[in-house]
Chain A
Amino acid sequence: MTIFIIRRFSQSLFVVFLTSLLVFVGVYAIGNPVDILIPADASFAEREAAIRALGLDRSLVAQYGTFLVNALHGDFGRSFVFNQPAISLIFQRLPATLELAFVALAIALVLGIPLGLIAGLKPRSVTDETIMTGSILGFSLPNFWQGMMLIMIFSVWLGWLPSSGRGESGEIFGITTSLATWDGLAHLILPATNLALFQLSLVIRLTRTGVRETMPLDFIKFARAKGLSERRIISVHVMKNILIPIVTVVGMEFGSLIAFAVVTETIFAWPGIGKLLIDSITVLDRPVVVAYLLVVVTMFIFINLAVDIVYSMLDPRIRLSETQ
């Protein structure tokens, strides 16, 4: 287990390095930030001074070298726009996005697993057909349209929930979160629901398929022959088996939940990193884009590692042994 984690960690470092290179070159190729940052009527001398100040006059290799050395010291450069360290900009916004993503994930699991179970246990019933049709909608409706419909229905027509912003936040165990106040919670419901719908559909489908595949197996029949209650069979024997694919897929998808947050954050004016990224890309704020992508890549790596560890706890057949 320890060896496994150490090995994964060193592999991860290599991945992060490679990403930084790709991202840096990619962002370099997109365009010259000077064209956007410096007013068109600036004099040639002012222009030259700005370019030199930002270090844009040097070669790509030299720029990357400086970036890498600084990055190793925890400095990812200063935002061209905000004139603040890029990394601190991201860490200011990250909690809002993580909060949104975690609440969305919770909604997806808390609703998705029971709905999938109901559908899977009564296949081809009216309930099953209804749930499955709903999940097709969740899969195929465009996220932005869905978000606007939610605003239309719950904010404009019914007037139940606020349509934008993060609302008041409070502190729980020292963590600033919207979950601490009613206002924050009310602001969170719509964007979190919007973000959750895709994952929810995914969880429903995974659970249903898992139930349908597990129920006819011999060990379920044997569990019945032992005289176990149906409740125990489903909540322990079936659930523990279908949690394996659910954890895997949902874990992998959690990264894209953060990535998808870009759309939801834009619609609901949620002050998260998604919105920061879109703004930074528009003005070619290179350090922020690079730092954002590195943070996201690192998160992906940690999520995957966490998934692998949880997976091995759920499935005794693939316990991470020292020999691996």
Chain B
Amino acid sequence: MTLKVENLRTYFFTRAGVAKAVDGVSFEVGRGEILGLVGESGSGKSITGFSVLGLVDPPGRVAGGRILFHGEDLVGRSQGEMRTLRGKKIAMIFQDPMMTLNPVLSIETQMVETVRAHDRVSKAEARARAVEALGLVGIPSPDERLAAYPHQFSGGMRQRVAIAIALLHRPELIIADEPTTALDVTIQSQILAVIQGLSRDFGMSLIWISHDLGVVAGLAHRIAVMYAGRIVETGETDTVLDSPVHPYTIGLMRSVPANLERGEPLTPIPGMAPPPLGRSAGCPFRLRCFAATAACEIEPEEATADGHRWRCFHPQIARAA
């Protein structure tokens, strides 16, 4: 197992109180596996990704749980120890390609420094590896483009550069935080194809963080749906999408236009996700849930059936069957 996260809790200790951004999340990613981490804004999916790399900014910190990378716990490791892992064994791709590259440094500088942060190689060799990585993600004439600056690339090209940087050390795990959200649809599908191919070719594991069920459906082997800092439903992609049991997952799927007849109105989930501060006890989704009853005043335990797991007192199994 490449990554095993157990009961992860990442809290933000603010003056207004403790914001439990990630509140008891557990999941696993095997070698070469793609896990889709799905949820709406503020559900804690990005913070989960940052927690794995030890990159949660103060006042936030991992307050509990274990993050096992090849069986070794990363929680409590020093920044120096984490640094040797970042970019080398675990890489990350960010949401907004317009913001992830340093505007005043050339692509070459930003790639060469990444190679040399982990491997003692000459500049020429580092450069050769950069050219190779740019070629892998489909950037034409990479040798010339290396001298360019980020503003000379389009958004899609910048995201390819960011992916190339993530690939420089052939990491075992890539955490991709909504890497296609800021791109238009045609570029999005190109980037998806690039990443999918690379993951397959190099046996890289992938955590694909997204709010877009449609993107994840075509990409991930397994899906974990997050809501208010918890994973409310997880399982094989086909199982979860064909027979979702948690009312929230069902609500999400009803909000995707692709599942509907043309002209039919979408069914949005009523209300808003609860803010991370001042979440009340019990199931966090109960106030927006069509199936909520008095039983939901207590936090539901995880239930499981054939690797399909959910946290709900009223799983919609009958509906799915």
Contact = CB atoms under 8 A, between A and B. Distances in A.
A316 B104 contact: yes
A98 to B, nearest CB: 30
Contact of A316 (B92, B96, B106): B106
A317 B101 CA distance: 13
Contact of B113 (A232, A240, A317): A232
Contacts of A221: 55, 57, 94
Contacts of A216: 57
Contact of B100 (A218, A314, A317): A218
Nearest to A319: B149
Interface stretch (A110-118, A162-170, A223-231): A223-231
A190 B57 CA distance: 44
A241 B103 contact: yes
A214 to B, nearest CB: 10
B147 to A, nearest CB: 10
Contacts of B99: 217-219
A224 B213 CA distance: 29
Contacts of B101: 219, 222
Interface residues of B, number: 31
A244 B104 contact: yes
Interface in B153-200: 162, 165
Q: For chain A, what secondary structure do more than half of its interface residues adopt (helix, strand, loop), or is it mixed?
A: helix
A219 B88 CA distance: 18
A227 B84 contact: yes
B117 A232 contact: yes
Interface string B94-120: 101001111111100100011001100
Given A222-B94, A236-B105, A241-B104, A227 B85 contact: yes
A93 interface: no
A47 interface: no
Contact of A218 (B53, B79, B96): B96
Interface string A163-195: 000000000000000000000000000000000
A232 B113 CA distance: 9
B155 to A, nearest CB: 13
A315 interface: yes
A316 to B, nearest CB: 4
Nearest to B118: A227
Interface string B77-98: 0010001111110011010100
A212 interface: no
Nearest to B106: A316
B123 interface: no
A221 B92 CA distance: 10
Interface in A207-259: 216-219, 221-230, 232, 236-237, 240-241, 244
Given A225-B87, A226-B114, A317-B149, 11 more contacts: A218-B100, A223-B102, A226-B87, A226-B117, A227-B83, A228-B117, A236-B113, A240-B105, A241-B102, A314-B104, A317-B103
29 contacts: A218-B96, A218-B99, A219-B102, A222-B92, A222-B94, A222-B100, A224-B55, A225-B55, A226-B87, A226-B114, A227-B85, A227-B117, A227-B118, A228-B87, A228-B114, A228-B117, A229-B117, A236-B105, A236-B109, A236-B113, A237-B102, A237-B105, A240-B102, A241-B103, A314-B104, A315-B104, A316-B149, A316-B151, A317-B151
Interface of A: 216-219, 221-230, 232, 236-237, 240-241, 244, 314-317
